[in-house]
């Protein structure tokens, strides 16, 4: 799959520019094992890079003009680095221009380049193809022009691009996972300090299966903003009653239970989920250390229950996909992944049973909703890398 993507991308580059690309880069999508909706609540997240990639074939050219070719979209965009870089009406271009604008301002990028990129990351499935695009471009420019950026700086440039040129106020998790990913390792990341540690995620006789609901409900942005307000309100009440509490990280379940009436039904549920989810991430780290996959699966299912019933960011289709596998002996755990209101469920399943499970659930899902289910088997892979440097071979 990876080789095919690389051949497909570099072949298109050769066809357009009549030469082999100087460099080939791979930038992965990501999953999050556990730790949902706690990145903005002072919790930890547990993402990992996966073996779905954007491949970039790149060469410098002799002037200040740049050509961006999105092979999958059959679209191209050309611009001159001498001109001011501003957002345009093509969304995919803005992810790239947002990165280049920062690097131009900080490092004076002046030499043009040609890029062809193509992807195996499913769009709209919540696997962060946008972060892979931003970080791939940042990493490529760092290599091409020897900018001396650290991995952390590349991730932050990617995040800022999304804030400024795309208008999405995202956290750092997606970009961080895309750049810092390691094969068979998950990252326990503190989104506040960017401190992180790796945990082994060699699932042995189990594998990760994503079931894509193929729906994206419009409540995502509004629901997300409302949740943020609710938890902020809840934390203020908790702090007032327990002055030692600075963040949700200092808060115990007992404190939240004690303030049940004061918080009110809705805000109590939101805060209870956050406190429990922060604890679940720590429990998941221990389960991974002990290779205790049964406990990890159980924690994933508990997270979904909380996201659905307490944080209320799931939807009928995703609840169906999670409920449908709960009694399958081959499935250890399942939960919705990402912001919610659609997207994928992530499932920890016995290796070799995936196809039978996909068949069963797909049929039931189609019968119930009339929607075709998509499924992706994923492996935990390394982060953004220079795959090939052809530079020395080109005259």
- Residues tagged active-site: 174
Element (H, E) at 225: helix 219-241
CA atoms of 32 and 112, how far apart (whole Å): 36
Sequence-separated (6 or more) residues with CB below 8 Å from residue 375: 209, 210, 211, 212, 354, 358, 362
Question: How many Å apart are CA 77 and CA 90, to the nearest integer?
Answer: 9
Of 333, 304, 308, 346, nearest to 127 by C-alpha is 346
The helix/strand/coil state of 16 is helix
**Other C-beta atoms within 10 Å of 225: how many?**
11
Distance CA 82, CA 64 (A): 7
Beta bridge partners of residue 26, listed in sequence order: 55, 385
φ/ψ bin of 35: left (φ > 0), alpha (ψ from -120 to 50), beta (otherwise):
left
Distance CA 303, CA 280 (A): 8
Residue with the two structure tokens 């229950």: 305
């Amino acid at each position: 799959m990876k080789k095919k993507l690389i051949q497909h991308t570099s072949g298109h580059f050769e066809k357009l520019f009549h030469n082999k690309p100087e460099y080939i880069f791979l930038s992965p999508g990501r999953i999050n094992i556990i730790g949902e909706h706690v990145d903005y609540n002072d919790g930890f997240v547990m993402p990992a890079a996966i073996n779905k990639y954007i491949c970039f074939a790149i060469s410098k050219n002799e002037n200040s003009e740049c050509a961006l070719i999105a092979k999958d979209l059959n679209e191209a965009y050309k611009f001159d680095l001498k001109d001011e870089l501003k957002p345009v009406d093509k969304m995919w271009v803005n992810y790239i221009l947002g990165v280049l604008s920062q690097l131009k301002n900080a490092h004076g990028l002046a030499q043009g380049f040609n890029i062809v990129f193509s992807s195996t990351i499913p769009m709209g499935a919540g696997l962060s193809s946008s972060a892979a695009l931003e970080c791939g471009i940042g990493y490529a420019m760092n290599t091409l022009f020897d900018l001396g950026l650290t991995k952390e700086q590349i991730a932050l440039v990617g995040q800022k691009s999304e804030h400024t040129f795309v208008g999405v106020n995202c956290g750092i998790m997606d970009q961080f996972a895309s750049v810092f990913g390691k094969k068979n390792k998950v990252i326990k990341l503190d989104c506040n300090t960017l401190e992180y540690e790796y945990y082994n995620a060699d699932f042995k006789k189990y594998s990760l299966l994503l079931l894509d609901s193929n729906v994206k409900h419009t409540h995502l942005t509004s629901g997300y903003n409302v949740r943020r307000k609710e938890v902020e309100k809840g934390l203020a009440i908790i702090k007032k009653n327990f002055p030692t509490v600075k963040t949700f990280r200092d808060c115990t379940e007992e404190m939240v239970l004690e303030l049940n009436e004061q918080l009110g039904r809705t805000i109590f549920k939101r805060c209870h989920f956050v406190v429990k989810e922060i604890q679940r991430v720590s429990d998941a780290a221990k389960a991974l250390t002990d290779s205790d996959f049964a406990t990890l699966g159980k924690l994933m299912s508990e997270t979904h229950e909380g996201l659905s019933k307490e944080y209320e960011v799931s939807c009928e289709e995703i609840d169906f996909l999670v409920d449908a596998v709960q009694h399958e002996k081959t499935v250890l755990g399942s939960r919705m992944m990402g912001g919610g209101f659609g997207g994928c469920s992530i499932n920890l399943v016995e290796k070799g049973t995936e196809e039978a499970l996909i068949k069963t659930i797909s049929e039931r899902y189609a019968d119930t909703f009339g929607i075709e289910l998509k499924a992706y088997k994923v492996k935990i892979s390394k982060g953004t890398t220079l795959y090939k440097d052809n530079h020395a071979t080109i005259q």
